[in-house]
Amino acid sequence: MSETESLLEFPCQFAIKAMGLTSTDFDAVVVEIVRRHVCDIREGAVTSRPSKAGKYTSVTVMIEAKSREQLDAIYQGLTDHPDVLMAL
């Protein structure tokens, strides 16, 4: 399989997950970055979970992904943001 081929078939439901230090606005930061590339984030599509010690928070946003390019742009936006430590 070449690099341009994808195992995903678009459109599809896709979970974007980002992790960062716990703060009052980390959820909003992640959602704002995802919203730049996704028009419709449904109610209930965003979940967050603190780490066991509470230092870190993971935020998951379920989206309907339209293309590989869209996903690449979302991940680039997340990894470029200083508050995001990891994006999966």
CB 17 within 8 A of CB 75: no
pLDDT in tens, 68-87: 999 999 999 999 999 999 99
Report the greatest alpha carbon distance in the chain.
Answer: 43
When pLDDT is cut at 50, 70 and 90, the band that residue 3 belongs to is very low
Q: Where are the domains of the chain?
A: 24-87
pTM over 0.85: yes
CA distances from 24 to 28, 29, 81, 82 (A): 9, 10, 16, 15
Phi, psi values for residue 51, rounded to 5°:
-70, 170
The amino acid present at 22, given as its one-letter code, is T
47 contact partners, CB below 8 Å, separation of at least 6? 59, 60
Question: What's the pLDDT at 59?
Answer: 98
